[in-house]
Structures are given as structure tokens and as C-alpha cells.
Structure 1
Amino acid sequence: MPQPFDATANRQAERLALTFLDRVWQPPHDLDAIDELMTEDYVITSGGQTIRGRDAFKAWVKAFQELLLDARTDNLEVFANPAGDRVVSRWRCSGRNNGMLGTPADGRPIAFSGVAIWTVRDGRLAECWVERSAWELYQQLTTLP
């Protein structure tokens, strides 16, 4: 049976995802925003790894941003399901290589795309599945500049 359309929840879910991308993945990288935007038991699955809990997620984001200097993630498209309890973003992440995927930290500009699918619970992001173009990124990193 189709879900009823809830325009308010739909817009709130989209706004929540955009706020997360803007505050956490754009300079100056406000990691404390994670406390506001994610549930305490937040779970993310990315690159074959599952990170559980807000504090573990903060540490994961910090470590990622240390590997990708000047990291920024720009939303290309966002949409939520009719009930507003799922939201998807297609995005592009860019920065300077500081050892991504175990490669030498050469400072060269890199970029890759990805998709994030979140579950929204009680007005916060509760769970996420991320797929990113890791193969294309690896090719960039292992090709001589």
C-alpha cells in the first residue's frame, strides 16, 4: 500500500539532510552539529564498514576529513519519500589528498561522487547507507599527476 504524502515531513527530511551536509561536510566542519542532527544510536554503513553511535561517527568523520584536506561535500540532488522517514542525497565530495585509500599524501585535488540514503526518526538522522565511487577515486589517486 502506498504511503500517504506528508508534505511537511517530506520537506523537513530534505532540509535535515541538506543541513547535515552543509554543517558537517562544508568548512569549517562543525562536528558538534552531529549531536543535534543524529540520533544517539546513529548507524552508518560505508565502504563495507559499519559505525555505530554518534561519538564513533564523529571520530570517523574527523579521521576521514584528515585524509581529505579542505573536504567539502556538495549536494547535487535530494529527495525524500512521501512519509518523510527516508531521504536520499546524491553528492560530490572534493578536497586534497592526504592519504586517501592508503595512497601517499600528495596534496593533489581529488573528487568523487556518491549517494547517501538515510532513515529519519524523531526529526533526526538515524541510519545511513553510503555508496561512493571508490574505484574511480582509487584510479585518480594511483594515476601519475
Structure 2
Amino acid sequence: MKKIRTHYDNLQVVENASPEVIKGAYRYLSQKWHPDKNPNQREKAENNIRIINKAYEVLSDPIKRSEHNEWIRQEKAKLQAQFSPTPPPNSFSMDFTEKRLNSELHSAMWLYRWQFLAPVEKRFSSQSRPWMRYCLILIFSFYAFILLMNENLV
């Protein structure tokens, strides 16, 4: 998925950073990229200083920062809508009772595995058929994974 470049990224701070942290990051980066300290890369340093100054201008003002945070939320929502799979036209979403039923089915499956399959697995764990035990464990683990994925996707 495409990453949004924000002023937080430009100052190399997290989104919930305090004003002191933002100020410290600004001071560090402005000293690091000052054009006088980078005479060999003057254009790159000037460009970085412009970006750093703009980021600090936005993040140091609470109103501009809240507008920037709102813009980030909108852009993330757009990206998620763009990259999330669209359901088929005749699909339905599971309501609460179906999710509960799916959860109960998942619990029942594990109960079944431990009550019924544990003795069977012991029987097949002998030297004669170790592959049978492996196949049973693999099948039920895969089934549990599918159930969990269906529960998380809806």
C-alpha cells in the first residue's frame, strides 16, 4: 500500500508527539541540514530546510496541526477505500447473530478437535502412519485459520 508523506515524517516524529519533541526534532534537523554545514550539497540542504521549516510551521500551531491530522485521516481513508477489495454485488454482510454463530462454530471445532481427535491422533502417532496425524492436524489448523479470517474480514 502507498504511504502518505506527512509533516510528521518530515520531522521524523510520531503523530502524537508533544510540542517539546517536535521543537527538539526541528532544531536537530535544521542544524543537520543547514546550508552552511553542507556546502557540497547546498541545493539539497536548502530544499530539506524548506521542508523542515514548513513541517515545523504546521506542527507547532495547534490549529494547523489539527487540520493536518484531519487531512491525514482523509488520505488514509481514501487509500484504504482504493486498495480494499470491493464485495461482489450480491454479497451480504454477516449480522451479529451470524458472527456469534461463527464464533460458536469455531469454539465447537476446537472442542471437537480436543475431545475426538486427541485419541485419534494418539492412535496415528505410531511409527506406521505418522503422516496421518500430520494431515489431521494440518486440516483442522487450516480450518481454524479460515474461520478466524472470515470472522476478521466481516
Query: Smaller-chain TM-score range?
Result: under 0.3
Higher fraction of helix: 2
TM-score, normalising length: structure 1: 0.24
Question: Which one has more relative contact order, counting CA pairs under 8 Å at least 6 apart?
Answer: 1
Give the structure with the larger strand fraction: 1
